[in-house]
Structure 1
C-alpha cells in the first residue's frame, strides 16, 4: 500500500526508554540511536489510532465501511456466509474476516468456547493525559513496591500516554464498569510516588481510558467454513510481546495474498494459517516470569532490577541485551505474494 514512509512520519517520536527512580533520576537508558535494531523502543512506534486512520484513509475509496454497528448472527449458506447486524441489516458475503480484537464477540459466534486464554497475571490501564514541560521524548518507566509500575510515553499530539500496571492474578476486574476500575487504580496507586499523583488526577478526565487483564488468545484453529480470524482475535500476544501491530499487519497481508492465490476460500485459509502459525507461536512465547521480574515486590527487588538494567544498558552489551525486548525471530516470506 506504500504506507511505510507515512507511518514513520506519524510515529510517536519516542527516542528511547529510561527506567527512573522516584525522584526522576535515571537508573538505565536505552536510546534508539545507540541500538542496532529494535530495543524497548522500536524504530517504528505508532499509536493504534494513528495507524487505523492511516489504513482507513488509504482504503476508504475502495471499500465500504459500516460504523456504529456489530454482528449478532452468522450463518453458513450455499456458496456464501450470511451476516446479521445489530441494526437489523443483513448481507451475504464470500468470506467473513473477524478482526475485532482480544474480546471479539463475533469470534464467539463462530467458534463458541474454543478460545483457551493464557492469562499473564498483569492488570493494566492506558489513557491519555496532558503533557507538561518536563515530559521529554523518552518512555519513562517507574517501579513502585507491591508489584506496581507507572510509565509515561510521548506522542505527536501534544499529550502524553500513561500506563499503570500491577502484577496480580486476573480476578474479573476487566469486567467491572469504568467507575469501579478507576476507583481500584486510585486506591492501588495512591502511595506509588513519582508522577503518579498527576496521572491519577488526569485519569478522571481522560476520554480514552482502557483497562484490561492481559491474556493471550489461544485458538486451536483460525477458520471455520467461510469465516476466518486474524489479528488479536486470532492470536493476541499481549502488549508484553511488543509485536501486536507487526503481527496484525503481517497477518492481513498474508491472508490477502493467499486469497489472491487460491482457487477456494478454504484453501486460502489453510495456507494462511500454515504461514502465520510459526511467527505467532514465537511471538506468544513470552515466559510468565517476564512480567513478574519487571514488577518487583520490594524496594530491594527494584534496586536489583535497576542494577541489572543499568548493566544491560552499558555500551559493550547494549545491543545484545536489547534483543530481550525485540520482536519475533520468525517471519513470513512476503515475497511469495507478488499479487498483493
Structure 2
C-alpha cells in the first residue's frame, strides 16, 4: 500500500483525486484548513490533518505525521508555496504540482510542454493575488519544480486546461448546462467555432496519479480531453445528453427531461444591440487554446469519452443547486438579441 498526501483534497480536482487514489489502493491523507465540507469525513480510509499550507511549520508537521510516499499539491497558488513544498517533501518518491495551461506565454496551436514558452513572472506578480497574474504565478511554480528536480527532488508538474465535471464550484460549465436545460434557444457568440480546450476532472485526477507513478522528475505534462469540441459542439453535446437518459450502475435509465435546443449565432453587432459582447460569455475565447496531450498519453494515460464525461457532469448538475448565474450575461439582454436576429 502506498501512502499519498493530498494538499487540498475536498473541493473539486482534489476531491476527484482522492477518489481516484482510493480506487487504486492508496492510503490517503488530506491536508487543508477545513474551510469546506469534507466529503470523506465518514471514510475510514482517509485521514485528515488540519493546517494552512502557507504555514511552513504546519506543512512540516503534516509531512512528519503523514510520512507520505507521494505528495500531490492541489492548492499551490504562489511560487513560494512550491518552493517551500519541494524543500519540505524533498525525500518523497514523487511531488506533483498542479500548474495550469495558462502558464504558457505564447499563442500557438497546440501548446507543447517542451516547446511553447512560459509566461514571465516578476517579483510583484509572484505575490499578487489577482486573476491577471494567475498564469504568471503558475509558470513560476513550474520553474520552482524544475529547480527542485535539478537538486535531486522527484518533482513534476501537471498543466490542465479548463477543468469541468461534477462538483465544479467555479460553475463555468453550469452556466451552459443551465441554459440548455431552461431555454429552447441558446445564444453562442460568433460562428460557434470558438475552441477552448477543456479537461474532464476525473481525467485530471488520473493524470496526477499516473504522473506521480510514471513521470520523470523535472518534467511537465499537459492534460485535456483527447478529443476537442467547439463551443457550439459543446452546447449540442449537453443537449444530446440531456435529451436522453443517463444509465445508473444497475443499467436503469434515470428520468431526465427531454431537451431540445436551437443554437443561435450572434455576431458583434447583434450582441452589441443587446448591450452584450462575446467576452460576456464564459468559456468563449477569440484565439483557440489547445494543449498537446501526447506526452501524458505516452505514460499510459487515457481520457474519458466525451459523451460519458458530459453525462456524469449533467447528471450531477441536476442534483446540485448550481446554475452558473454569476456568469450569466443576462437573459433579458439575450432576448433583445434574439428579437433582432429574428428580424434579419
For the aligned pair, the TM-score class normalised by the smaller chain equals: under 0.3
Compare relative contact order (CA 8 Å, sep 6+) and give the higher one, 1 or 2.
1
TM-score (norm 2): 0.24
Which one has a larger percent strand, Structure 1 or Structure 2? 1
TM-score (norm 1): 0.24
